[in-house]
């Protein structure tokens, strides 16, 4: 591992940085200000959830057009555009004077934070690494998990001391002063010069590069999406409703920020283990297992309201996220090749963003109609088990095709 890092620290650090700062467009960060926005604009859980869904759906619709740029434009040039726009959206969200401005800010945060920042990292990492792709992906996604462990606590501290607007202001400043120059420098030099392959990759068989049209006509692709989208849907739902769950169960105000640290630590360990397993056995072999811990998390959250339950939930979420975050970065290039990876990943990331849009909108509406979130989580847990069966079927079909 140390030798691998020494050879590739520039690109791993760049990917880590972008994943870390993508957190400003992730639901777990945005959700920390939901209570203030609901109060400011007099919105219910369902009303704000539907607006959040609308903004996220719009970002998902735009992502396939922007994501394919990574197949024709160098990554550092895209970074030079994406990061400043994300910083501007952070300021807009913190100082929104109307509901329309807030929805626009959330749209840009989701498109350029969760969408394009993640798209840049996983597309370039999947393209630049082959023999040790699982290890590389497991390291760059640690940026996301590190942000989960630190940024909510930092934001909560700033909010308590100075108000939530200061938190968004600091986010914009850090993006411009730290994230932009460092990520640009890391990605300014591609890992492998165009048209060449490193020695470690010469031992790995070539995977035929599918076009996006071919991928969309592949039945296995749509079967995979029935499971691949589940962690984003459920995780977003839990993080988005953190204030609601805290009030429902009378938990201490900062318990979610503390529990995210536990989840992040669990995710880090599981991500590294998953990366090694993927390099050894292949992404197809790991595919059937990532939803099982997520199912357990749903059942725990649906069955009890004690403080201890939340920590069990976060451990199980961490296991599932650790496996899935590394798996998804390796799965698509492993199946469909790398030549059109930007276009292909733009579809999968767009679908993931779409599922995160559906989570708050659907669950918030059900809450308004009297079906509380714990009751909904039992249903989600059952779906995870069914989807795990579908992933097993997809894994067998992919191994046969290979």
Q: Measured over all CA atoms, what is the biggest interatomic distance in the chain, rounded to whole angstroms?
A: 60
Mean pLDDT of 69-73: 86
Q: Count structural domains, the chain.
A: 1
In a domain, 234, yes or no: yes
Copy the structure tokens of residue 52: 């959040």
**pLDDT, tens digit, for every residue of 284-323?**
888 999 999 999 999 998 887 778 888 898 999 999 988 9
Q: Per-residue pLDDT tens for 187-245?
A: 988 876 344 444 444 445 566 788 888 999 999 999 999 998 899 889 888 887 887 88
> CA torsion 143→153→253→352, rounded to 10°?
-20
What pLDDT score does 193 carry? Answer: 37
Q: Which domain holds residue 177?
A: 10-192+207-401
Taking only the tens place, the pLDDT of each residue in 108-118 is: 999 999 889 98
Evaluate whether 391 touches 287 at the Cβ level (below 8 Å).
yes
For 174-187, how does the pLDDT look when each residue is reduced to its tens digit (9 = 90+)? 999 999 999 999 99
In terms of pLDDT, which residue wins out, 121 or 192?
121
Give the total residue count for the chain: 402
Mean pLDDT of the region 343-349? 83
Percent of the chain topping pLDDT 90 = 32
2 domain-assigned: no
Specify if 1 maps to a domain: no
CATH code for the domain in which residue 94 is found = 1.20.1250.20
Q: Which residue has the higher pLDDT, 169 or 309?
A: 169
Looking at the predicted structure, is the pLDDT value of residue 249 above 80? yes
Greater pLDDT, 353 or 12 = 12
Tell whether 21 is covered by a domain: yes
pLDDT in tens, 82-104: 999 999 999 999 999 899 999 99
| Cα angle value 338/339/340 (rounded, 5°) | 95
**120 occurs within a structural domain:** yes
Q: Does a structural domain hold residue 198? A: no
Higher-confidence residue of 67 and 21: namely: 21
**197 domain-assigned:** no
Integer Cα distance of 43 and 70 in angstroms = 38
CB-count exposure of residue 155 (10 Å: 0-12, 13-18, 19+): buried
| pLDDT score for 169 | 94
Asked if residue 149 belongs to a domain, the reply is: yes
């Amino acid at each position: 591992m140390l030798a691998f890092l020494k050879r590739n620290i520039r690109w791993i650090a760049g990917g880590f940085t972008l994943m870390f700062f993508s957190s400003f467009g992730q639901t777990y960060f945005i959700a920390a200000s939901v209570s203030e926005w609901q109060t400011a604009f007099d919105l219910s859980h369902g009303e704000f959830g539907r607006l959040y869904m609308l903004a996220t759906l719009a970002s998902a619709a735009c992502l396939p057009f922007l994501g394919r740029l990574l197949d024709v434009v160098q990554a550092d040039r895209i970074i030079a555009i994406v990061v400043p726009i994300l910083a501007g959206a952070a300021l807009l969200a913190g100082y929104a004077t109307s509901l329309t401005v807030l929805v626009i800010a959330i749209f840009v945060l989701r498109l350029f934070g969760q969408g394009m920042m993640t798209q840049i990292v996983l597309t370039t990492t999947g393209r630049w690494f082959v023999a040790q792709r699982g290890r590389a992906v497991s390291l760059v996604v640690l940026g996301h998990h590190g942000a989960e462990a630190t940024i909510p606590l930092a934001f909560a501290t700033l909010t308590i001391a100075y108000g939530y607007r200061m938190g968004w202001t600091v986010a914009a400043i850090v993006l411009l002063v730290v994230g932009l120059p460092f990520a640009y420098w890391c990605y300014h030099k591609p890992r492998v010069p165009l048209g060449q392959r490193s020695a470690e990759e010469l031992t790995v068989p070539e995977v035929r590069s599918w076009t996006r049209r071919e991928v969309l006509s592949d039945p296995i692709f749509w079967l995979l999406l029935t499971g691949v989208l589940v962690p984003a849907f459920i995780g977003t739902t839990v993080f988005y409703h953190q204030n609601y769950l805290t009030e429902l169960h009378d938990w201490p105000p900062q318990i979610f920020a503390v529990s995210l640290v536990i989840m992040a630590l669990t995710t880090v360990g599981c991500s590294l283990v998953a990366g090694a397993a993927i390099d050894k056995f292949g992404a197809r072999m790991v595919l059937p297992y990532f939803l099982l811990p997520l199912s357990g998390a749903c059942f725990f959250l649906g069955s009890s309201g004690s403080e201890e339950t939340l920590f069990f939930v976060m451990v199980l979420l961490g296991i599932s996220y650790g496996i899935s975050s590394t798996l998804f970065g390796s799965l698509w290039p492993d199946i469909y090749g790398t030549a059109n990876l930007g276009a292909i990943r733009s579809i999968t990331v767009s679908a993931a963003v779409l599922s995160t849009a559906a989570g708050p909108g659907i669950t918030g509406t059900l809450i308004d109609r009297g079906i509380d979130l714990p009751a909904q989580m039992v249903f989600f847990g059952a779906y995870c088990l069914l989807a795990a069966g579908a992933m097993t079927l997809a894994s067998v079909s992919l191994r046969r095709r290979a």
